[in-house]
Amino acid sequence: MGSERMEMRKRQMSVQQESVAGTTAPAQNEQPGQGNRASNACCFCWCCCCSCSWNEDRDERNRRASYDFKADGDADFEESPKPTAEEICLWGQSFDKLMNCPSGRSAFRQFLRTEFSEENMLFWLACEEFRKEANKSVIEEKARIIYEDYISILSPKEVSLDSRVREVINRNMLEPTSHTFDDAQLQIYTLMQRDSYPRFMNSPVYKNLLKTVSETQSVES
């Protein structure tokens, strides 16, 4: 019995070694092919599984463009000056005065984040920056980024637009201009004005900010 077990054990080890050798050999043979495939623009698929250089270049272009554009859109939020008590009081007079003030947009954006609707402000800011662009090739690239980030139904940051405006955007995307998203921007602006702005004015975010700034100015004076 002992010799039979030894013999069976040897056969099992032999089979395992052969199977390991069989799996590693093709992997080694495939390495040169992988190098050739990486240097070859072999296809134009839109999925992430393809390792061709065209897809790698496309992903890199998208990453750079998206980063540069989003950095521009975040400027007001990151570098807005501290508001005065007078400015904060003016925000309560109209939504336009709030949105025309960099620190007002920043405070309102923080409030929208608590309501999980920050994408509305991000979209509006992106459109504001987009409308300043004059270079045709840059307009086309930025229009695509805005569409993918805020208009596409696949985006987690999709803004709420009616079917009419979506149809207008889809037509405009055939030949994008700096006014491609004007209707959509106005609709989101109106949505924030009617829906989020009144809640912001009655929120602890606004009241605490006004109280803190007023007290600070009183101490300094």
- Count of the separate structural domains present in the chain: 1
Specify the pLDDT at position 49. 40
Helix pair 136-146, 118-130: axis angle to 10 deg: 170
Question: Is 11 inside any structural domain?
Answer: no
Q: Where residue 99 sits, what CATH number does that domain have?
A: 1.10.167.10
Q: Considering the domain boundaries, does residue 12 fall inside one?
A: no
Taking the C-alpha atoms of residue 130 and residue 207, their distance in angstroms, rounded to an integer, is 33
Could you give the CA distance from residue 185 to residue 164 in angstroms, rounded to a whole number? 13
> Is 66 a member of any domain?
no
Residue 50 lies in a domain: no
Q: With respect to residue 214, please indicate whether it lies within any of the assigned structural domains.
A: yes
Whether 2 has a pLDDT exceeding 50, the answer reads no
Question: What pLDDT score does 218 carry?
Answer: 81
Residue 57 lies in a domain: no
In a domain, 77, yes or no: no
pLDDT of 73: 45
The reported pLDDT for the residue numbered 8 is 54
Q: pLDDT tens, 110-168?
A: 999 999 999 999 999 999 999 999 999 999 999 999 999 999 999 999 999 999 999 99
pLDDT tens digits, 158-201: 999 999 999 999 999 999 999 999 999 999 999 999 999 999 99
pLDDT at 205 over 50: yes
The range of the structural domain enclosing residue 147 comes to 84-218
Residue 69 lies in a domain: no
pLDDT in the model for residue 130: 98
The 10s digit of each residue's pLDDT in 50-109 is: 444 434 444 454 454 443 444 444 444 446 788 999 999 999 999 999 999 999 999 999
pLDDT single digits (tens) 19-43 = 545 544 444 444 444 444 444 433 3
Query: First and final CA of the chain: distance in angstroms?
Result: 100
Token reading at 119: 């994408």
CA dist 170 to 37, 107, 176, 177, 184, Å? 36, 33, 10, 12, 11
